[in-house]
Amino acid sequence: MQYASIQYRDFYDVPRMFIVQFNGMTYLFDCPFDEREDEYSTHYSVFLMPPLDTADLTGDWRQLPTMAVQLIGKVLVSDVKFDASKRNAISTDIIGRLLKKSGGD
C-alpha cells in the first residue's frame, strides 16, 4: 500500500480538509460540517486543484474549494485510510480508484 503525505486543517477524529499530491497533481479532500445534520459530512468531496503556492496553504483554507479546477467525485470518509497518526499521510489507493471511476486516469 502506497502512502502520500498530506497537509491538513480542521481535525476532528480525522483531518476534515486536506491537500495531497498524487502523480504530480494536487487534490483537495473536503469534509465540511453539515449544519443541518449537526455532524461532519460522511463524505469527502475530492477536487482537482491548480498548483498552490505557500500563501494559499498558510492562509485561510475556507476558500480553497472555490479555487478548484473541477470536482472529481465523492468518497466515504471511512474509505480513506490514514497513517497511524491520522495526520501525516493517506493511502493513495482511494485516489486511484476515484480517478478510474471518474474516467480521469
Partner 1 sequence: MKTQIKNLLVAILFLLILKPAVVSAYYDPELGRFIQPDTVIPDLSNPQSYNRYSYVLNNPLRYTDPSGHQTTPAEAEPEREFEGEINREIRESQNINSRGEHIVTTEQRAQDIRELANSAAAMRMRGLDPNKTYIGPLETQTVGASAKAPKADEAASSAIVKFDAKFALQQGANPATVVPGPYAVVRGGQAPMPAAGTTFSGSMGATVPEAAAGVPHGTIRSTTAGAVREQGGSVVLAPEATRSGAINQSHVNVTEASSPTVFGPPAPNPVPKSERVQ
Binding site for partner 1 (CB under 8 A): 8-13, 16-17, 33, 38-39, 58-62
- Output the smallest distance, CB 76 to partner 1, in A: 15
CA distances from 55 to 1, 44, 51, 60, 61 (A): 32, 24, 12, 9, 10
Which of 15, 90 has the CB closer to partner 1? 15
Closest CA to 4 of 94, 86, 91, 99: 91
Which of 68, 99 has the CB closer to partner 1? 68
- Output the smallest distance, CB 25 to partner 1, in A: 22
Closest CA to 67 of 47, 43, 53, 41: 47
- Output the smallest distance, CB 27 to partner 1, in A: 17
Which of 9, 74 has the CB closer to partner 1? 9
Q: How many CB atoms lie within 10 A of CB 53?
A: 8
